[in-house]
Amino acid sequence: MPTVTAFEAKTRFGELLERVARGEEIVITRHEKPVARIVPEGRKSVEGVRQAVAGLHALRGVIAARQGDASAPLSDAEIEAAINEGRE
């Protein structure tokens, strides 16, 4: 993933926007430390994906502990509760 300094980002902002519009991610640094990231609109954030995966792992644990058999099907109420939990 390419990085640019804050000064470069300021002076080449239009060019950076074009690159991002083509799907590229760009990290902006200040004093050689990452401070911001420009990503294409609509792309899922890495943190959001990590949270979703953690939620799936937790649900798998709940299912396994429910009856000691992770292959047992969920009830409609359990499925609905899992769906609604993410909407609260």
Distance CA 58, CA 39 (A): 29
Cα separation of 19 and 26, whole Å? 8
Residue range 6-55, pLDDT digits in tens: 999 999 999 999 999 988 999 999 999 999 999 888 766 677 778 888 88
- At residue 88 the predicted structure's pLDDT band, cuts being 50, 70 and 90, is low
The answer on 7 and 33 residing in a single domain is yes
Sign of CA dihedral 74, 75, 76, 78: negative
Pair (7, 31) in one structural domain: yes
Can you count the helices (H) and strands (E) in the chain?
4, 3
Does the global pTM surpass 0.85? Answer: no
Q: Which residues share a beta bridge with 33?
A: 30
Domain that holds residue 24: 3-38
- Summarised one tens digit per residue, pLDDT across range 43-78 is 666 777 788 888 888 888 877 776 666 566 778 888
Structure tokens at 40: 């294409």
